[in-house]
Amino acid sequence: MASPGINIRGFNSNFNAKNLQVTDGRYSTLIATGLPFGPLNTTIKEDIERVEVVLGPNSTMYGPNAHNGLLNTITKDPRTSAGTTVALTAGNQSTLSMRFRHAQVLSDKFAFKISGEYFQAEEFEYVDSVYIDRLDENGDPGTDGRPEAYRELDLDRDIQFVRTEAALYYSPTDRTDIIFNYGRSNSNYLAPTNVGRNQIQDWNINYYQVRLTHPNWYVQANLTTSRTDSTYSIDERTKQYWRGIDAGVEDPRGEFSYQSGALFQDRSRRWSAEAQYNNTFGNLELITGVQYFLDQANSLGTYLLDEDEDDFITVNQLGGYAHLRYYFGRSGFSVLAAARADWHEIYDFNFVPKFGLLWNRNNHNLRLTYGQGIAAPTILNMFGNLFNGLILGNAEGFTLADGRMVERQSVERLQTIEAGYRGQVIKNKLFIDANAYYNISKDFLSPLQVLGVATERGDTPIEEVQGGFPALGGLVASYINFGQFDTYGADIAVTYYFTPEFSATGIYSYFDTNIDTDNIEENDFNGDGEVNFLDVLVNAPTHKASLNLAYRGKLFFGNLFTRWVQSYNYFSSFQIASETLVRDDGTPFLYRGVPIVENARSADAFNYGPLGGFVTFDISAGVRVDSWLTASFNVTNLFNTEMREFTAAPPTGRLFSVELRFDIPAIAPKKR
């Protein structure tokens, strides 16, 4: 209901930081985890001018972690969208959304806008299974005849979001704008993770931003803060509750249930700034700039290796970039050369280039590009400390009890060769957008991996780092780099306009991977002595397709959208969604030491079978009753198809809603 997951070119997970999200030039990601804001965002849909989906590595312009692609949201300018909008939406699952936006031009120098939303809903009926090893009557491990699966403790399916934003635009000259932005959100919902679900409670995001824009200059600075006091892991809290029952604790549902590390608190903040210059010198186009980030993460000792509210984990990053594009007269050909240099406080210096040959003429665009991208481990990857030290960050490496050394996590590197075409094949009728790409990934940033029993983290004895050492004995899960493998794919979108109002768009995507199975030393991620599909957790279907019919008339509008997603197996740390998998000789494949069997328990989670494997239909329609009133309805998953796209989450059922939108035109300011 509340946790949309956007993934670009494979390698999805329940804790996916592999695509970058940006809003009006600032990172829309959490400071400590690197996760996209998603439902924590502060922007309402009525204030969105456009959303740009940029595929492939774009680290030269946007910095580290734009290596798979990015989602760039640009909000409306009040001077071109003045007026008042009020929207009311209601639907099943107790859905209610009330939104407003007001934008006004005060004079030729000042304008402002303000927006807000109250949203409530109820998550689909679903209770996950939590598995815990109980003690029998003699105090020994075992179930003593009791079931091993327990229901999530104190599950709250209520969802609530409150969002608000405001901006003031000041134009000291005709060519210069100074923009002040502020946004805030408060969020309560259920979030699927690699180890079950998190109960997000009163998670607050605040940002403050100032921008200076000019035809040749762009300068911005912003502060983003993140705060929560009572978010917790339902899975771990449930396990701790039953441990308390076994230990005879009088009130295991209270403070005791959080003592094994279930509670997540946050007091993190990010300072960032950017200065960019662009100009054209004859046939040469130049864009150059610098970016600075100061991430200061603080968990009050609940999920990072900090201690209290004054102990910030800080990471400084400084980067500079330059884009050069040269146009060869009227031929339509141009060449692109770009590069970026970054200094990272933990990972030192990195350099990424990009080159392209482009042709643009008569509504036809061709491109051939080579680009590199990097992804730096998140603060959680480097300095995590979850569940009393069962999960530890890997900024310093580990020494294992068997003598093996686990190197510290380093940056992931990606090289991409891509060819694309975009054009108007038949004037005002047929449009095609197609691309094909080949990626070479090296030092892949792994999902969470059980390393084994550790004796040291860096040079520090593990008993001094791991809070739960008496119970865990040094057993550690963390993050590593591994291997080199290739991925490749293609996307094609075809749009045909039957009339200026009525169109059809079909999209098909293909994605696959290749890994050297003979390179045991580098590519054996899970350490089982062989290289196979379990070492490269793609977690994406090979084939996807969709078809959209759209009508946009002066009075009526509507869409009919259908989507097909191929069935695929999905492994995300503790979470699994897979068919039963056996080798040719009949022996089972193992995941986390347990046979992969559909509709059966798999270690800490239950395997309900593969994700995807569905065809769904959505429909929406509306009418513009008057210039100021629009009425519409929307049905997602029209036929209530079994649509599973996440683990640790319910299937998405049918959702229907109706909406009334009131648009009040602006009153022009009086001229003096």
Kindly report, residue by residue over 266-283, the tens digit of the pLDDT: 999 999 999 999 999 999
> Tell me, what's the pLDDT at 2?
82
241: exposed, middle or buried (C-beta count within 10 Å: 0-12, 13-18, 19+)?
A: buried
What confidence tier does 653 reach under pLDDT thresholds 50, 70, 90?
very high
Distance, CA of 454 to CA of 477 (rounded, Å): 10
> Tell me, what's the pLDDT at 67?
80
> Tell me, what's the pLDDT at 16?
80
> Tell me, what's the pLDDT at 221?
97
Which residues neighbour 380 within 8 Å (Cβ) at sequence distance 6 or greater?
A: 32, 33, 34, 303, 304, 393
> Tell me, what's the pLDDT at 447?
77
Residue 301's Cα: distance from chain center in Å? 25
> Tell me, what's the pLDDT at 432?
98
pLDDT at 663 over 80: yes
Kindly report, residue by residue over 424-477, the tens digit of the pLDDT: 999 999 999 999 999 998 888 887 788 889 999 999 999 999 988 998 999 999
pLDDT at 254 over 60: yes
Task: Lowest mean pLDDT of 361-365, 536-540, 603-607, name the range.
Answer: 536-540
> Tell me, what's the pLDDT at 17?
79
Kindly report, residue by residue over 620-630, the tens digit of the pLDDT: 999 999 989 99
Tell me which residue of 31, 100, 92, 23 sits closest to 62, measured CA to CA.
23
Kindly report, residue by residue over 376-409, the tens digit of the pLDDT: 889 999 999 998 999 999 999 999 999 989 999 8
Average pLDDT, the chain: 91
> Tell me, what's the pLDDT at 146?
53
> Tell me, what's the pLDDT at 492?
97
pLDDT at 139 over 70: no
Radius of gyration of the chain (CA): 26
> Tell me, what's the pLDDT at 445?
84
Tokens of 466: 């791991």
Average pLDDT of 130-159? 74
Query: Do residues 531 and 524 touch, judged by C-beta distance below 8 A?
Result: yes
Average pLDDT of 282-297? 96
- 146 vs 337, higher pLDDT: 337
> Tell me, what's the pLDDT at 136?
55
Kindly report, residue by residue over 193-240, the tens digit of the pLDDT: 888 999 999 999 999 999 999 999 999 999 999 999 999 999 999 999
> Tell me, what's the pLDDT at 6?
82
> Tell me, what's the pLDDT at 114?
98
Query: Do residues 219 and 208 touch, judged by C-beta distance below 8 A?
Result: no
pTM: 0.91
> Tell me, what's the pLDDT at 623?
97
Kindly report, residue by residue over 47-77, the tens digit of the pLDDT: 999 999 888 887 788 877 788 888 999 999 9
Q: What angle do CA 324, 328, 329 make, to 5 degrees?
A: 125
Cβ neighbours of 582 (radius 10 Å): 12
Long-range contacts of 466-470 (CB under 8 A, 24+ apart): 466/388, 466/389, 466/390, 466/392, 467/261, 467/385, 467/388, 467/389, 468/260, 468/261, 468/387, 468/388, 468/389, 468/390, 469/389
pLDDT at 133 over 80: no
What proportion of the chain, given as a percentage, has pLDDT over 90?
71
Kindly report, residue by residue over 500-534, the tens digit of the pLDDT: 999 999 999 999 998 888 888 777 777 778 888 88
> Tell me, what's the pLDDT at 138?
56
- 656 vs 603, higher pLDDT: 656
The secondary structure of 5-43 as a DSSP string is ---SSS---TT--SSEEEETTEE-B-TTT--B-GGG---
